[in-house]
Amino acid sequence: VKPESLSLCPLGTAAAPEQELLCIFGTGDLGRSLGQRLLQTGYRVVYGSRRPHSCGPLPERAQVMSHAAAAQSANLVFICIHRENYDFLETLAPELKGKVLVDVSNNVEKNLYPEANAEYLQRLIPGAHVVKAFNTLSAWALQNGPSDANRQVYLCGNNAEAKQAVSVVATKLGFTVLDRGSVSAAKELEDFPLQLFPEWRLPLRLAVGLTAFFFFYLLIRDIISVYIKEKKDISFRIMVSLANKVFPIVSLIMLSLCYLPGVIAAFLQLYRGTKYKRFPDWLDRWMLCRKQLGLLALGFAFLHVLYTLIIPIRYYVRFRLSVRENRTPEFDTTMAWRTDSYYSVGILGFGLYLLLGITSLPSVSNALSWREFSFIQSKLGHVTLFFCTFHTYLYGWDKFLRASSYKWYTPPGYMLCLVLPSVVLVLKLLLLLPCVDRSLTRIRQGWERTNPD
């Protein structure tokens, strides 16, 4: 179901006290925090409890009654109790008929039950209108009100009026409401709090995998091979030289992996002649983690820049310079051009890289129009990839012609990492050809190629 944001009354006007009575079942942490916040916002609150006279400390000004009496006194009932204790609610079906029940529950594990808690509640009390909401907020967030990280309240349910009633309360509490559709979305909402950085998992695994691969590849190729062939121990290079190869290599590969799915999607649309067919799941998932891929790639590029900055103060470099001091090598203008160019192109690439990273942050991207955002992320993104790739080509220069570059018949790491960005850039260049670009633009505007049959 496509999430849709409800347009609700502005906060300033919403905060006026209305003294509406709301009911809360459950006097645990969540029930208490919610009650306190509702009271602060101007609602009256009544708790439903098994033992109304001995149910522990509750917010001042809140009333406590038996479940049946409390349910009868309000139209909206927050169910702040664990799912395992829902059965008793069945006995209250007559009192809860026609009421809006807000299911705020969560589970400790995924797939613990065949159906979502909210669906179970709806089955127990078919006469009530169940709305799943507030479950992604902690008791802490409820008590202290919305903060940047905890501003959104997801909700779902079968009855539009019931959802509207809950979203009015959520908005008065200062939250932004995101409607996820019918109660069948409840399972997804209940899984939210159990997920740990879900969209970072794939990019992180990829970063760790690539780092490990290139670390061992370069360790064997550049350090162990020298030890075996020349009996020379240059293991100290692991700390800076090797790290300063692995990090930029991983960064460049991950940056190209950010742009590869977009290019694949464009070719797929051209091949199918329509934009209305779904992309395969793997491509969808890949596209959804581009931001995380890009931010991790930026982190690796940042490390490369820091490592590069310390090169002149390294003992090994200063030692080599002092040994050479007595010789006056001839000035090589080509070499000067080459090194200055690759530094300069690297710096430009890094500058644009930072711009991409900054504009992907929600607070910045929210201030941009869609056109501005896509101009930076797509057009400038490809320019960034071009600069970083060009920087690496310039760094390599003519080394690919020398046999000594291929130790043990293996290519150096930077050559391997150039494959993917080069492919992405060539494919992107093909897409920019006027005839291809025209077809793609038409497809993206809704035109469809009709099948001959």
Contact residues: ligand HEM, CB under 6 A: 241, 244-245, 248-249, 251-252, 301, 304-305, 308, 343, 346-347, 349-350, 353, 388, 391-392, 395, 413-414, 417
> Nearer to ligand HEM by C-beta: 272 or 338?
338
Question: Which of 73, 405 has the CB closer to ligand HEM?
Answer: 405
User: From the CB of 421, what's the least distance to ligand HEM, in Å?
Assistant: 9
Give the nearer residue to ligand HEM in terms of CB position, either 18 or 340.
340
DSSP 215-282: HHHHIIIIIIHHHHHH----GGGGTTTTHHHHHHHHHHHHHHHHHHHHHHHHHHHHHHT-S-SPPPHH
From the CB of 191, what's the least distance to ligand HEM, in Å? 35
Q: Which helix (H) or strand (E) holds 353?
A: helix 333-359
- Residue closer to ligand HEM by CB (options 244, 359) is 244
Q: Would you call 161 exposed, middle or buried from its count of C-beta atoms within 10 A (0-12, 13-18, 19+)?
A: exposed
- To ligand HEM, the closest distance from the beta carbon of 258 in angstroms equals 12
Residue 113 or 343: the one with the smaller Cβ distance to ligand HEM is 343
Q: Is the dihedral of CA 379, 381, 383, 386 positive or negative?
A: negative
**CA atoms of 386 and 345, how far apart (whole Å):** 10
Residue with the two structure tokens 């078919």: 126
Closest separation in Å from C-beta 339 to ligand HEM: 8
CA distance 107 to 276: 37
- Return d(Cα 227, Cα 212) in angstroms, integer: 21
User: Which of 313, 435 has the CB closer to ligand HEM?
Assistant: 313
Least distance CB 253 / ligand HEM (angstroms) = 9
Per the listing, tokens 């329509």 go with 274
Distances (CA, A) of 179 to 100, 114, 167, 421: 16, 23, 9, 40
Nearer to ligand HEM, 99 or 304 (CB): 304
Residue 342 C-beta: closest distance to ligand HEM, Å = 7
- Minimum distance from residue 224 beta carbon to ligand HEM (Å): 17
Q: How far is the CB of 189 from ligand HEM (least distance, A)?
A: 39
State which H helix or E strand residue 440 sits in: helix 434-444
Say which DSSP state 51 is in.
Answer: S
* Comparison of 141 and 242: residue with beta carbon closer to ligand HEM: 242
Could you tell me the two tokens for 259?
A: 């742009």
Give the pair of three-digit tokens for residue 128: 């009530």
d(CA 174, CA 171): 5
d(CA 164, CA 170): 10
In the bound complex, what is the minimum distance in angstroms from residue 297's beta carbon to ligand HEM? 7
Tell me the C-alpha distance between 400 and 299, whole Å.
28
Nearer to ligand HEM, 367 or 419 (CB): 419
Task: Say how far apart CA 399 and CA 346 lie, in whole Å.
Answer: 18
**Which residue's Cβ has the minimum distance to ligand HEM?**
346
By beta-carbon proximity to ligand HEM, the closer residue of 156 and 252 is: 252
The minimum distance between CB 285 and ligand HEM, in angstroms, equals 24
